[in-house]
Amino acid sequence: MIRKSEFSSVSLAIVAALPFVHLAVGGTSLAQRPQMGWNSWNAFGATVNYTIVQDVIERFDTLGLKEAGYEYVLLDDGWASFNRTADGYLQANATSFPQDIKALAEELHNQGLRLGLYGDSGHYTCAWRPGSWGYEERDTQTFASWDVDYLKYDNCGGFQSMTEAPQIRFGAMKNALALSGRDIFYSVCGWGYQFPWHWGGDIGHSYRISGDITASFANETKCECKTAYCLNTGYAGCSVLTIINKMKEISQYQTRGHWSDMDMLEVGNANFTLNQQQTHFAFWAALKSPLIIGADLSKLSNDSLAVLTNKAIISINQDALGEPVAYREAHSEEGFFQVWAGKVEGGYVVLLLNEKSYPQTTSLSFASLGLGTPERIVELWSGKILQDVDKFNGTLGSYQTLVFKVQT
């Protein structure tokens, strides 16, 4: 692997420490709302290719995803060749992408969509393609010349580059993007290391808060770190419920334009019940996480598609206030029910989650949340208007979440 000898770790640290040029990340309209799109990794791993992408582009239209607000088509690890060019530039895998990336970007742009690529803050990517450590400016110039719109920047790297703090490694790419001459959405994928909710918003448009999501709703096999502040010494994947629980401690730090990324959606990509899929999507939406589909679009069931294109739930995610819901411990019952609430335009939204695998009956006073006097309440999944604006009384099914939009 070719490495620029003139770019030492010391110079990278200096670059990362420079004041951020807000024109590139903080001052554009790129991240005024959480990003929505599709990513290749969860369904295809490192085997993504042009045929798959062509099918995705077509299905964005035929399935109504583009109409629902999804706009980014993100090529995760595997799009690049195993080697840089002779003069040190990234290049696409010629077998998987026989037409160049710039032509693919043009094809997407002609369809009203945007192209995203994957990179890594170390010597190698997770699938052993070239990383961008030491090549930040060269690679961002390449992305800009290809008309790329989005960069997901990962944390696999290598032992030498991992000795640098993530703020240094991800910060170096932040500054390189600022100098690229193109507005490129910057998605920091640092797996939650060193608590990025305290610094990630100063670097990226979004930042990952945990290890990879798994196709498990509640049962853990690898995720030993089940809270936001435990010391996780190794990479781990986490279930949907664990990631939700981590956000109890994190959602308060999120600011508009710098979103906490709970990872890609497993809706349609896992053997989840309809209740589980609705809970998954509702929490990602209400916590203002990016809505990035991770499923094979050719295999989506009608139920999964209905969840992913639910306009009422998406509107919570894309609400102009950009305020995530917060966990209401005083109104919740640990291990049984969770209550989350937050403001939206014209009122507030309330999520009521049954944490158990069996139905439970509960009640909730909306006025007691202190967010305003309810005048009209709609449960968004069913579309039903509550007759009693003071209180909900009812039974929730296994892992079900009811989403109430309260007008004040």
- What are the residue ranges spanned by the domains of the chain? 36-318, 326-407
Strands, E assignment, 52-172 = 72-75, 114-120, 150-154
According to the model, what pLDDT value does residue 274 have?
98
Q: 326-407: what CATH class?
A: mainly beta
Residue 334: count other Cβ atoms within 10 Å of its Cβ.
Answer: 8
CATH number of 36-318, picked from 1.20.1050.10, 3.40.570.10, 3.50.50.60, 3.20.20.70: 3.20.20.70
Output the tens digit of pLDDT for each of the chain's 408 residues.
333 333 333 344 434 444 444 434 444 578 999 999 999 999 999 999 999 999 999 999 999 999 999 999 999 999 999 999 999 999 999 999 999 999 999 999 999 999 999 999 999 999 999 999 999 999 999 999 999 999 999 998 755 556 789 999 999 999 999 999 999 999 999 998 889 999 999 999 999 999 899 999 997 666 777 788 876 555 678 899 999 999 999 999 999 999 999 999 999 998 999 999 999 999 999 999 999 999 999 999 999 999 999 999 999 999 999 999 999 999 999 999 999 999 999 999 999 999 999 999 999 999 999 999 999 999 999 999 999 998 999 999 999 999 999 999
Q: Quote the CA–CA distance of 266 and 268 in Å, as a whole number.
A: 6
According to the model, what pLDDT value does residue 371 have?
96
Radius of gyration of the chain (CA): 21
Of the chain, the end-to-end C-alpha distance in Å amounts to 60
What number of CA atoms fall less than 13 Å from residue 66's CA on the CB side? 14
Query: Catalytic residue positions?
Result: 154, 212
According to the model, what pLDDT value does residue 11 have?
40
Q: Which residues pair with 192 in a beta bridge?
A: none
According to the model, what pLDDT value does residue 206 have?
98
